[in-house]
Amino acid sequence: MVKILLDPSMYHPQLTVAEECRKAADLGYEFIELSPRADFHEWHHYPKVDDAEIAKVRRAMAETGVRIWSFNPVYNWSAPDEQDRQHAVRCLRRLLQIADDLEVPMIATELSGDPNDPLRSEAQLYRSIEELIPDFDRHGIECTIEAHPYDFVETNDRAVQIVRGVNKPWFNYEFCCPHMFHLSQGSGDARAMMAYAGDRLRHVHLADVYNHLANVGNRYIVNPPGVDARIHQHNEIGNGEVPWDEVFGYLRETRYDGPVSVCVFGWEEDMDAIHVRMRERIEQELGA
């Protein structure tokens, strides 16, 4: 049976992490995927949480029965710049300690790096992983990674190959539905991409998105034309072009029983109702 994780990103400006545990319970969720926030683990910054805050979160989890299942940090552990890479390793090492303190079993992260310098980025990633293997082993924490738009690898199959190259049972692949048109260079063949990952598929992010390459790219207009940037969305299911019959069909057929994260962003005006509808849809499709 899948675990449905709430990414409480839309609540970050208003609620503490402890309060987000209570909000998740109110919305019918048992698990959280904690995305970056300034007072905990922020994009590219050293974690800011201390023992007192960890204690507050532990109490909130005990009171509500909601568990933080994964942290979703963004640290540039593939940075071609060695100082930046070392900083990312320090950040991840500290975050693993915090995860251990809170009994969080998974780090869900990104390849990062520089798409304009992919070879050096790949070398730096493997170097970082080699340095962190003792930490992951000691804490017994799993890591799933995705090829995020503007990472040094941006396509599904190449990202899966990177995972296989690490060759560790705790290092696996996360398939992100709102990134699928970047992952597939516009084809959107969800079944083929997940099947390519095979038994390395251990995490799925669920949100909808429109194909940025359809209609000669005019659904998204970025100026100046050709600027070195990426664009996508994280919408509620049904507000986009993700082939959900294929996604849910494949997960049912393979009896996928890992975590699925609800990661809708940018719709704060209806966020409670969106999160309830997303949870109900997933329960309907996957029998959670």
pLDDT tens-place string over residues 148-198:
999 999 999 999 999 999 999 999 999 999 999 999 988 889 999 999 999
The CATH number covering residue 155 comes to: 3.20.20.150
pLDDT at 215: 78
Tell me what percent of the residues of the chain surpass a pLDDT of 70: 100
The phi, psi pair for 109, rounded to 5°, reads -135, -165
Q: Which residues does 10 contact at the CB level (< 8 Å), separation at least 6? A: 264, 265, 266, 267, 268, 271
CA distance 68 to 212: 32
Count of the separate structural domains present in the chain: 1
Band (pLDDT 50/70/90 cuts) for residue 243 is very high
pLDDT class of 288 with cuts at 50, 70, 90? low
Residue numbers of the domain that contains 185: 3-286
Query: Please, which pLDDT band fits residue 218 given cuts at 50, 70 and 90?
Result: confident
Q: Please provide residue 32's backbone torsions phi and psi, each rounded to the nearest 5 degrees.
A: -125, 145
Range with lowest mean pLDDT among 9-23, 104-118, 226-240, 248-262: 226-240
User: What pLDDT shows up at residue 179?
Assistant: 96
The reported pLDDT for the residue numbered 272 is 98
Q: Quickly state the pLDDT bin for 273 (edges 50, 70, 90).
A: very high
